Amino acid sequence: MRKQIVAGNWKMNCTLPEGKKLASEVIHMVEDEVNNNAEVVLIPPFIHLTGIFNLIGSSSKISLGAQNCHQSQSGAYTGEVSAAMLVSCGATYVILGHSERREFFGETDELLAEKVSFALENNLTPIFCCGERLEVREAGDHESLVDTQVEKALFGLSEDQIRKVVIAYEPVWAIGTGKTASAEQAQEMHAFIREQLSAKYSREVADSISILYGGSVKPENAKEIFSQPDVDGGLIGGASLKSRDFTNIIKAFD
């Protein structure tokens, strides 16, 4: 059985007090109300990691993630954060290749391949993001674009390594726009990615990898999207900043 995951990517939002309040609310609501086995991942900005980790405590349902990491172990890279540092703050996940990192910080598939293998070496689970921009979808090239992103960043990994990766399909045109991909569009791309994994590795490996959908997931549409056979959860942006909405999205698995 694949792991079901609902991850909240806070992006560059929340001061530390705001983040602690949000995390505390989510932790309590999840403990009191959620009746499923989905893993919940809180992904705050770097500097809140320790503070949020202390709030999570020993909760077995909630994990901590970071939004990025550098591709080197340490060194003269002012302003950067290493995978080992994230682990030392309690993170077990790291988002890599988010479309905002690709667009605003020039991250390429080649760089992401380095980051993914570095994260794995440090025992961090990468949440590798892929997804097409609107013009690519309109031209009908979305599958070939995602094919290239996945192949270039992930297919240098061994079978043991790829099993430890989580993939998030986030169509860029659905991020923060309120325009969600339809459940059919999500399922179609998730099935495509799983076929790609099966062809490169094996059916068994492909069936073991969690593929999350991201892009305007809300309490109102989560159930329909999560009920698709190849959708194993969500990577949530805006709605993860509201404890009630985020918890209701997690409850879509109940």
Active-site residues, by number, are 98, 170
Which residue lies nearer to ligand 13P by CB, 85 or 239? Answer: 239
Residue 230 in contact with ligand 13P, rule: CB under 6 A: no
Mark 87-126 with x for binding to ligand 13P (rule: CB under 6 A) and - for no binding.
-----------x----------------------------
Question: Binders of ligand 13P: how many residues, by CB under 6 A?
Answer: 14
* CB nearer ligand 13P, residue 166 or residue 239: 239
Question: Between the CA atoms of 142, 144, 145 and 151, what dihedral angle is there, to the nearest 10 degrees?
Answer: 140
CA–CA gap between residue 196 and residue 189 (Å, rounded): 10
Q: What is the DSSP letter of 27?
A: H
Q: Does 237 bind ligand 13P (CB under 6 A)?
A: yes
* Among residues 44, 238, 250, 251, the one that binds ligand 13P under rule CB under 6 A: 238
Residue nearest to ligand 13P (CB): 237
**CA 107, 48, 53 angle in degrees (round to 5)?**
110
User: Measured from the CB atom, is 209 or 236 closer to ligand 13P?
Assistant: 236
Cα gap 114→90, rounded to integer Å: 22
User: Given candidates 38, 55, 235, 252, which one binds ligand 13P under the rule CB under 6 A?
Assistant: 235
Toward ligand 13P, which CB reaches closer, 98 or 194?
98
Q: How far is CA 21 from the centre of its chain?
A: 22
Tokens of 178: 């309120």
Closest by CA position to 250, among listed 61, 92, 56, 21: 61
Give the Cα separation of 63 and 33 in Å (integer). Answer: 17
**Binding status of residue 248 toward ligand 13P by CB under 6 A:** no
Please say which residue, 156 or 176, places its beta carbon nearer to ligand 13P. Answer: 176
| Closest listed residue to residue 143, CA positions, set 98, 188, 102, 81 | 188
Among 175, 211, 231, 252, the residue binding ligand 13P under the rule CB under 6 A is 175
* Residues numbered 65-94 forming contacts with ligand 13P, rule: CB under 6 A: none
Binder of ligand 13P out of 206, 211, 217, 231 (CB under 6 A):
217
**Alpha-carbon gap, residue 5 to 233, rounded angstroms:** 5
CA distance 8 to 231: 16
Interface residues with ligand 13P (CB under 6 A) are 9, 98, 170, 175-176, 214-217, 235-239
